[in-house]
Structure 1
Amino acid sequence: MNRLSLEKRAQILGMLCEGMSLRATSRLADVSINTVTKLLVDVGTACAAYHDEHVRNVKSQRVQVDEIWSFTYAKAKNVKTAKAAPEGAGDTWTWTAIDADSKLIVSYLIGGRDAEYAHEFMQDVASRLANRVQLTSDGHGTYLGAVEDAFGDDVDFATLIKIYGSVPEGQRRYSPAICKGARKDRVTGNPDREHVSTSYVERQNLTMRMHMRRFTRLTNGFSKKIENHAHAVALHFMFYNFAKIHKTPRVTLAMQAGIADHVWTLEDIAQLAD
């Protein structure tokens, strides 16, 4: 069986991490799209396992959580009429938790947006932290019970609820509603109101849309299988945490957070699958 060289695998992963689609990567790397897909599956699986094992005992002071929407195969309203829609088709939500100081992605989860996924996500967040933190979420109601079950009283938890105005007629499809203000509500503990914010995790949503073609709006690069969507997210966060040198700290986020001692290369990430 022919095997791609390490340099070629790193080249393909680099293209995927910079937001190229599978077919564009296939054309530029001069390999079969099946080769690109298999590499994504193998490396994505290894990246998820590495994150699960090594992103632990994170010493954080402030954590922000949020969920970002995408869809698999078809939007939820179109799944019933879609031809041969696979299991997992429809709206797909990616839950993320970011350390507001180091910007490390502490935890992520792909699935629905209901209470069951909220509980699973917050249990995972709590298991990765080494100390009491201040936690901020948006006004999504499922966080309230999920945070209580995961942390109990051992958290300073507040919500940031944004107040939106109406969208002008004729602009509702693509224009976001105008944010007219925000309300900060204490839920548990003694959160510092100055640091009740979701700005960093919401900025991370933009990073995800820029670096993963599957999240880009109004294109045909959306995920066709939920499993491959999860593999792409795992690869992205491995690259984002361990390999990308960020402007402010001038090191990787994993080094900034104290869970890595060197800058990972794309070759290192490719070799995880070995």
Structure 2
Amino acid sequence: MLFLRPDCPDCGSNYIVKNGRIHNKKPKYKCQSCGRQFVENSTKKVISSQTKHLIDRLLLEKISLAGIARSTGVSQKWLQDYVNNKYASIERTAKVKPKKKFRLNVECDELWSFVDCKENKQWVWLAMDRETREIIGVYIGDRSEEGAKQLWNSLPPVYRQCAVCYTDFWAAYTCIFPSKRHQPVGKDSGKTNHIERFNNTLRQRVSRIVRKTLSFSKKLENHIGAIWYFIHHYNYVLSQ
């Protein structure tokens, strides 16, 4: 009996040869005209660019990955791989508008979070420009002097030279921040109100750092990537 091979789905050529089998033993073909490799009647779902764009927007809302998978019709495995790759590529430096060298005011605070279990605490150290509301510095790690040091180092040079940083009375700040650039204040002073309000925004928009959640991170890299992804979006919206 004559065996009919399928036409190429790209160029329509019937100059087709067998090219092995895939994992489920279905035969794989190769087009000798254009080089396309394919499986006849493939059940593999191709994720459209529109769906990926929707997923990118949903990642900025307080929705679990399982919820995004249900809403968009993609598999949880594909979504997890997509998120892993996306968060791994996120830049870990805040993008802010250029500033002139004059007195700048910065508000700093730390936000509790965890990865995998609540014993694995990961504090989110944040610095905000009081005038522009931009997030200018971020560090995610423990609540030690090292965390304060990394936050200070994450500030753009103009802020380290000209800004006064208002913080709470956590001792790590005093140990690391230069005295001329640092002013500890109480909550009643109102000088850290904006960064404390941003903490609430972050908890409302990033499900991984809600205090009681089933959407917590299991990998530190994804935890950091998700927070940076939202911060880049936040600063971008401010610049528009």
Common fold: TM-score over 0.5 = yes
Q: How much does 1:69 deviate?
A: 0.3
2:87–2:221: 8 Å Cα contact kept in structure 1? no
Alignment gaps of 5+ in structure 2: 1-43
2:170 aligned with 1:140:
yes
Kindly provide the CA deviation profile for residues 190-229 of structure 1, in whole angstroms up to 9, marking residues without a partner as x. xxxxxx6110000010011000011112221111111110
Question: Which has the higher Rg, Structure 1 or Structure 2?
Answer: 2
2:53 aligned with 1:28:
no
Q: How much does 1:126 deviate?
A: 4.9
2:172 aligned with 1:161:
no
Match 1:234 to one of 189, 203, 228:
228
Closer, same or farther in 2 for the Cα pair 1:10/1:130, shift >3 Å? farther
Determine the C-alpha separation between the residues in 1 that align with 2:75 and 2:62: 18
Q: How much does 1:62 deviate?
A: 1.2
**TM-score of the aligned structures, taking structure 1 as reference length:** 0.64
Structure 2 letter corresponding to 1:209: R
2:129 aligned with 1:99:
yes
Closer, same or farther in 2 for the Cα pair 1:29/1:107, shift >3 Å? same
Q: How much does 1:22 deviate?
A: 0.8
Structure 1 segments of 4+ aligned residues over 4 angstroms from their partners: 56-60
Determine the C-alpha separation between the residues in 2 that align with 1:144 and 1:130: 15
Determine the C-alpha separation between the residues in 2 that align with 1:35 and 1:204: 32
Alignment gaps of 5+ in structure 1: 77-89, 163-181, 185-195, 243-251, 256-262, 264-274
Q: How much does 1:238 deviate?
A: 1.4
Determine the C-alpha separation between the residues in 1 that align with 2:183 and 2:176: 13
Q: How much does 1:233 deviate?
A: 0.6
Please, what is the CA RMSD of the aligned residues? 2.4
- In the alignment, what sits opposite 1:39? 82
Q: How much does 1:33 deviate?
A: 1.8
1:45–1:234: 8 Å Cα contact kept in structure 2? no
2:193 aligned with 1:220:
no
Determine the C-alpha separation between the residues in 1 that align with 2:159 and 2:64: 34
Query: Which sits farther off after the overlay, 129-138 or 207-216?
Result: 129-138
Determine the C-alpha separation between the residues in 2 that align with 1:140 and 1:7: 46
The structure, 1 or 2, with the larger RCO (C-alpha pairs under 8 Å, 6+ apart) is: 1
2:88–2:222: 8 Å Cα contact kept in structure 1? no
- In the alignment, what sits opposite 1:66? 109
1:58–1:130: 8 Å Cα contact kept in structure 2? no
Q: How much does 1:231 deviate?
A: 1.1
2:52 aligned with 1:9:
yes
1:44–1:232: 8 Å Cα contact kept in structure 2? yes
